[in-house]
Structure 1
Amino acid sequence: MTQTVRSADGTPIAYDRLGDGPPLIYVGGATMTRKSDPDLAKLLAERFTVYCFDRRGRGDSGDPMPPGAPAQNEEQAAAAEVEDIAALIAEAGGAAILYGMSSGGALALEATASGLPVTRLAIYEAPFAEDTPAQRKGAAEYATRLTELLSEGRRGDAVALFMSITGMPEETIEQIKNMQTWPALEAVAPSLAYDAAVLRYYARGGTVPLESLAAVTVPTLVMSGGDSPAFFGSAAQKIADGVLNGEHRVLAGQTHYVDPHVLSAALVRFLR
């Protein structure tokens, strides 16, 4: 049964709770909702009380910001999403494990660095890029264009833009537009601005937040797939090296679309 908690600014955050055990909050990545990864949630629920939630601007959660605004107001948007996690942690009993997938990993890292009562942190392939002038320029251009498209109500174009920066071929994007899942992607398009904000595309160019890693003192597992592009592994190693108690683990044979059984096994080994 879906439940709702109110964030500090009054925004309703919808979540599902399943399983029994220590609380674990699953922070989804770009375009994901609380229902996007049911297999992993069920596997983890065998050992944990899993909280799957809709990040603001998605599913049944609210969003007080105008379309596109979060990308322009990075600090405010990132802080709001951290407050959403704080509300969920309070709902879970006052302390919790955080697991973040992709851009959700960047948000989980931000939340932990902010000092929330996180007991352990696990991240899979936070999409931080190499710090080069070209990367910073491209990231800023993406954030600007995303803001424009969302402000104009062009949700489909915003989703296509996001897919293009992930390296997806144009012909594949056109095929996806004809699938039954396309309307659902358009529905969550405004939340792409929050992903841009938490990755700090304007201010930092989507690179690893080296300056805040030292504030993460809890045991931290940073994972990447052995068959993923090299930048995922590079970012994972930088995060693991930068936090106080970090470990980088490569999941052999995995890509960004990681097998839930492989991932859950790695998480259980770390968290137990």
Structure 2
Amino acid sequence: MPPLATADDGAPIAFEERGSGVPLLLIAGQATGMHGWGPFADALAEDFRVIVFDHRGIGDSGEGDPASYSTRQFADDALAVLDEAGVSAAHVLGHSMGGRAAQWLAAEHPSRVRRLVLIGTTASDRAGGAGYRRDPAVIGDLLSGDPERMLPLFFEADWARAHPEAVAGFFDRVASRAALRGHFAASRDHDAREALGRIRAETLVIHGSQDALTPVAHARLLAAGIPDARMLELDARHGLHLDTPEVLDAVRAFLGAH
């Protein structure tokens, strides 16, 4: 059993760490467990003390009340993990919904975040305009829970065939239906647009131009709202941290890996 942090409402939050050096907290996407980081976390652990955790309702973490899930609550869970790990401040990297939680963490607890990396995420799904909207069929594929339907949204086909273990680890999850619904609702209802200006950490926004789950227009809006944020746009899909090597290179350079 991994070590456990205790959230504000008493829910146990399971986490693991590997490597040494400056702490780097990874916050996973919607309904994704800590083992979904796969080779990406392994590579970062060569330079950093990498900390990963299961969101509430996922894997070895407690469920709490799924009806109350929010990205703000997930940010508080991440803070509890840092506290339990004895980390006063860490680099923070969030993917997808994890990036939404990371926005709250950086905006509301600026002293705890050294540098911030936001991958494949958005400040709000409520932004208007055709360039921001997801195809309803894409949402259906995501909610299906069928890896065969979801895979093309996340990964390039040749990479997926060559890395079956990483793909399986990313899609493998232990969660109740209530928790899955809670995660979807938390991600859907996220709106941190008013908080972006309060982020003081140096920030790198990374996004795939072929991302059907979160159209790239969202990333441009996100980067524009964070003071002095940098943006890197790549020819990639939603799971770009795993299948696009330039992401790892950019993260290591931005965070000052040796």
Fold conserved (TM > 0.5)? yes
Contact kept in structure 1, 2:58 and 2:173, CA below 8 Å: no
Percent of residue pairs identical: 27
| TM-score (structure 1 length as normaliser) | 0.72
Q: Which residue of 2 aligns with 1:148?
A: none
1:187 maps to which of 175, 180, 195? 175
Please list every run of 5 or more consecutive structure 2 residues that lacks an aligned counterpart in the other structure: 155-167
Superposed displacement of residue 3, structure 1: 1.5
**Structure 2 counterparts to residues 99-110 of structure 1, below 5 A:** 99-110=93-104
Q: In the alignment, what sits opposite 1:89?
A: 82
Structure 2 length-normalised TM: 0.75
**CA-CA distance at 1:64 after TM superposition:** 1.8
Specify the SS of the correspondent of 1:62. coil
Aligned to 1:271: 255
Q: Structure 1 unaligned runs (5+)?
A: 143-156, 169-179
Amino acid at match of 1:84: D
Distance verdict in 2 for CA 1:98–1:167, change over 3 Å: closer
Q: CA RMSD in A?
A: 3.6
Partner in structure 1 of residue 49 of structure 2: 49
Q: Is the 8 A contact 2:17 2:51 kept in 1?
A: yes
- Tell me the equivalent position of 2:35: 35
- The secondary structure found in structure 1 opposite 2:36 is coil
Residue deviations 1:172-220, cap 9 Å, x none?
A: xxxxxxxx99x9557354333443444353xxxx5x6321111111101
2:216 is aligned with 1:261: no
Alignment of 1:48-87 (within 5 A): 48-66=48-66, 69-70=67-68, 77-87=70-80
Q: Which amino acid aligns with 2:76?
A: E
- Counterpart code for 1:125: G
Cα distance 1:65–1:129, how it changes in 2: closer, same or farther (>3 A)? closer
Match of residue 200 from structure 2:
217
Shift of 1:133: 9.0
Structure with larger Rg:
1
Query: Do the aligned residues in 1 keep the contact of 2:57 with 2:175 (CA within 8 Å)?
Result: no
Q: Deviations over 1:117-158 (max 9, x none)?
A: 11111011115446249999x99xx9xxxxxxxxxxxxxx87
Secondary structure at the aligned position of 1:214 is classed as helix
Q: CA deviation at 1:263?
A: 1.9
